[in-house]
Each structure stands twice: as structure tokens, then as C-alpha cells.
Amino acid sequence: MFYPYGFGLGSHWLLYIGIPLIIGIWAQIRVSSAFRKWGEVRASSNITGAECAREILQAAQIQDVDVVETNDFLGDHYDPTSKKLHLSSNVYHTPSVAAVGIAAHETGHAIQHAKAYAPLKARMAIVPMTMIASQMLPFVIIGGLFFHLTGLITLGIYCYAILLVFQLITLPVEFDASRRAKIILQQMGIVQPGREVAGVNKVLNAAALTYVAAFIAALGNLLWLLSIRDRR
């Protein structure tokens, strides 16, 4: 009878795919919960996420970055190619602890870019290769597992290795942006010590867990494919 690779692995699948998947779901629930909670707590500075980002950029003497609105929920990100800081509507227009925390974090990436922060430069360099690997993976995995093509499984291993390197480089980039955000928000008096600082910490720490979860997932997928190839 025909069985594609990956079925019947039992403990291997649970260890390498199941557990990382559960961790990823848990991390997403935590960040969504933290954002909802602290998105309802007004920052004492009474400035929106967009105003927060612009004030930090001005203080850092960065004049070539635009702050723009995106409709994607929690789709906040800094694009170093276009030098645009994208903030979701709930962050862009809201003067909450969560909004200024996320805005400051993304502005931290703009500061990294302006200061030529080495891990960010490394991540930017590997982005094209990562995009190619991500686009290839669905076809490689389906072909390798369902048609028992070892060559495609090996190619999938290389693709996941690229993704793993990308996720590994992402960790210091994100941790540093959060570190900068926490310091800047207090230095500029955008949040006050006590409850507001604690709220920012909880939002940004929850967000950081999603990047750790993504790294664990990439590692799990890589180990899973390695275990499949070794069973041949």
C-alpha cells in the first residue's frame, strides 16, 4: 500500500511539528490578549501610536522615514526598502499603552536601519533567499513526501535551513528593537513608571515570544525532514 513520507512517524511528528505548533498558537494568543488588554489603557501622554512614532523619529533626527497606516490587524512593521513605518489602524489612531509600545518597537527598527545595526543588515541581505525558499517549500514538500523523492526532501532541508537562519537572525533584531522602545518611551516621558511601563513590557515581551515560536517551528520542520530522510 502507498504511504507518503511523514505518516506514521508518531513521536517524531509530535516532537518536531506538533509541539512547535502548540507553542506558536500559545504565543499568538498571548500577544493578542496583551494587545487587547493594554489597548484599552490610555497612555498618560495621550498621544497616538502614529504621534509616538513621529516624535521618536524626530528625536532620533531621522527625517526620511514615513509613518503610514495599514488595515492589517497587528500588521505593524518597518520596511527598510521603502523606509516606511506601517502601523495598523488600532495602533495608528489610538493613544493606548499597547499602541505606543508597538509604535516605539517598530520605530526601533528604523533607528537600527539608520545606525546600520549589523543583525538588521544581515537579515535584509538574506530576505531574497528566504522568499525564494518559502515559495519553493510547498511544492518541494508535497513532491518529496508523496512521491518518495529523496532529492526533493534534501532540497526541502536546505530551504528550511535558510528559514532557520533567517529566524535566528531575526531574534536579536526584534529583541534589540524592544529594548530600544522600552528605554525611549521612558526617557521621552511617553509612558510613566509603574503600570504603564509594566503594560509596555507585557505587550512587547508577548510579541517577542512569537519570534521565538517561529524559530522553534523552523527548527522542528528541519529536524522532521532530516528524520524522514534518515529513515530511508
Cα(59)–Cα(188) distance, rounded to whole angstroms? Answer: 9
Report the catalytic residues: 106
Cα(73)–Cα(121) distance, rounded to whole angstroms? Answer: 27
CB 203 within 8 A of CB 98: yes
The backbone region for 189, taken as left when phi is positive above 0, alpha when psi lies in -120 to 50, beta otherwise, is: left
Phi, psi of 29 (to 5 degrees): -65, -40
CB 200 within 8 A of CB 97: yes
